[in-house]
Amino acid sequence: MSALSEKVGIALYAALNVSGVTSKATGGVWRGQPSDSAALPYVVVTRQAPGETVRTFGQMLIMEDDLWLIKSVADEDAHSAFLSTGAHNEAVLAACLAAHGTSLTLSGGSVTWLVERVADIPTYNENFADRVIVHDGYLLRIVAAP
Amino acid sequence: MPEVFDAIAPDTLTILIDTISKDSSGRMVKSGTSNLAASVPCTYEPMPLNLGKHRQQGDRKTSVQQYLVSFPSHTSAGSRINLDPKTHRLVVAARGNEPVKNFRIVAVNDQQGTMFECICEREN
């Protein structure tokens, strides 16, 4: 992972780790893998795929264009009371969209000039013992410049 | 058989039923639990030759151990317990220093209508 995408990840986590999200995803927001003790439901943020890296003559980095995945993970027993798991995930993801909006501020002199939601990912149901863990999320396109 | 278990089993369990319905958008909702039976005498032990395992589920690592939970098929009042592994859970009550233990049913083995030997999983 490049130094620039790491800064984007840090900024994205900071934007999502707010009460509007964590009041619903009570297990917290995690980059990459949640801790073993994290309790569902939670939000997972990962860099999904690299995009274009643009350099000038002399290999100077102009911008990086990556896809990020923001995912709400919940199971039948660990979600908002009296909501279906899918409805819970929808509420969490709506809160995530509101939290990061269409811009991010990076530290260390880097600037994001475009943040765009690309598409929803298909719902993924995962069997676990006597219940189902449901993964819902969306892809975010973030273009960052150093 | 309930009397036999009463005499030999140090623990009791409650059988929880998940209340499952459908919301207006067609999604399944679990809206609470109720008791199928309570204070049922029981024994539990790790499954023989099962050393437990780690699984990557829900994007995180979970430790799982299989247990054999045994209890009579009838309550002390004589009612037949009809178990459904899909919607029932077993909760063993606290005893002394022992905390409450939650068991997720994987499969129900009905021993000729006298007792259940449930294969269960206990997480983390």
* Predicted local confidence at residue A108, as pLDDT: 66
3-state SS class at A9: helix
- What is the C-alpha separation between B11 and B45, in angstroms, rounded? 12
Of A44, A76, A126, Cβ closest to residue B57: A126
For the CA atoms of B88, B90, B93, B99, what is the dihedral angle to 10 degrees?
A: -120
* Predicted local confidence at residue B63, as pLDDT: 86
Chain position carrying tokens 């219940």: A131
Cis peptide before A41 (omega within 30 of 0): yes
CA distance A48 to chain B (A): 14
Helix or strand (DSSP H, E) at B3: helix B2-8
* Predicted local confidence at residue A26, as pLDDT: 93
Of B61, B62, B85, Cβ closest to residue A130: B85
How high is the mean pLDDT of chain A? 87
SS3 content of chain A, % helix, strand, coil (to 5): 25, 45, 35
The pLDDT confidence band at residue B51, using thresholds 50, 70 and 90, is confident
- What is the C-alpha separation between B25 and B51, in angstroms, rounded? 42
All residues of chain B having their beta carbon less than 8 Å from the beta carbon of residue A35 are 60
- What is the C-alpha separation between B116 and B91, in angstroms, rounded? 15
Based on DSSP, count helices (H) and strands (E) in chain B, helices before strands: 1, 7
The pLDDT confidence band at residue A64, using thresholds 50, 70 and 90, is confident
Of B57, B62, B104, Cβ closest to residue A130: B104
Q: Residue A129 and residue B31: Cβ atoms within 8 Å?
A: no
- What is the C-alpha separation between B59 and B56, in angstroms, rounded? 6
Q: Residue A84 and residue B121: Cβ atoms within 8 Å?
A: no
All residues of chain B having their beta carbon less than 8 Å from the beta carbon of residue A133 are 57-58
CB A103 within 8 A of CB A83: no
Instruction: Give the tens place of pLDDT for each residue, B82-107.
Output: 999 888 999 999 999 999 999 999 99
- What is the C-alpha separation between A37 and A27, in angstroms, rounded? 9
* Predicted local confidence at residue A81, as pLDDT: 66
Note the helical H segments in A23-123.
85-100
Length of chain B (residues)? 124
Of A30, A82, A135, Cβ closest to residue B29: A82
Mutate one of A128, A131, A132, A135 to test the B interface: name it (highest B CB count within 10 A). Answer: A128
Q: Residue B25 and residue A84: Cβ atoms within 8 Å?
A: yes
- The answer, yes or no, to whether ipTM is higher than 0.90 is no
Instruction: Give the tens place of pLDDT for each residue, A76-130.
Output: 887 666 688 999 999 999 999 999 988 888 886 566 667 778 889 999 999 887 8
Going by C-alpha positions, the residue among A51, A41, A72 that lies closest to residue A8 is: A51
Q: Residue B23 and residue A84: Cβ atoms within 8 Å?
A: yes
Q: Does A72 touch chain B (CB under 8 A)?
A: no
